[in-house]
Amino acid sequence: MLALAAGVVVVASYPVLSLVATTALVGLVAAARVLVARIERSSMKVAVPGFPVEVTVARTTRD
């Protein structure tokens, strides 16, 4: 009887747990995409050999 009750709880809670896991995964992927987009748009300093200056190169996703 206890095993049956445990089985009912597992079956009943599966859709909720699945929804929570899916929502968490979607949120994580969205956050990762925003982070990658910001990194790609950030400036990058490049030291040019032979020149005493640093050149700042702006990178975008459209380049």
- The pair of structure tokens assigned to 29 is 């992927």
CA distance 51 to 30: 41
Domain ranges within the chain, ordered by starting residue: 2-58
Instruction: Give the tens place of pLDDT for each residue, 3-61.
Output: 888 888 888 888 888 899 999 999 999 999 888 777 666 556 666 677 666 556 665 55
CB distance 50 to 62 below 8 Å: no
Nearest to 43 by CA among 26, 52, 56: 56
| The predicted structure's pLDDT at residue 55 | 57
Listed in sequence order, the DSSP H helices in the chain are: 2-41
CA distance 60 to 38: 9
| The predicted structure's pLDDT at residue 56 | 62
Which value, in Å, is the radius of gyration of the alpha carbons in the chain?
25
- Give pTM, 2 decimals: 0.52
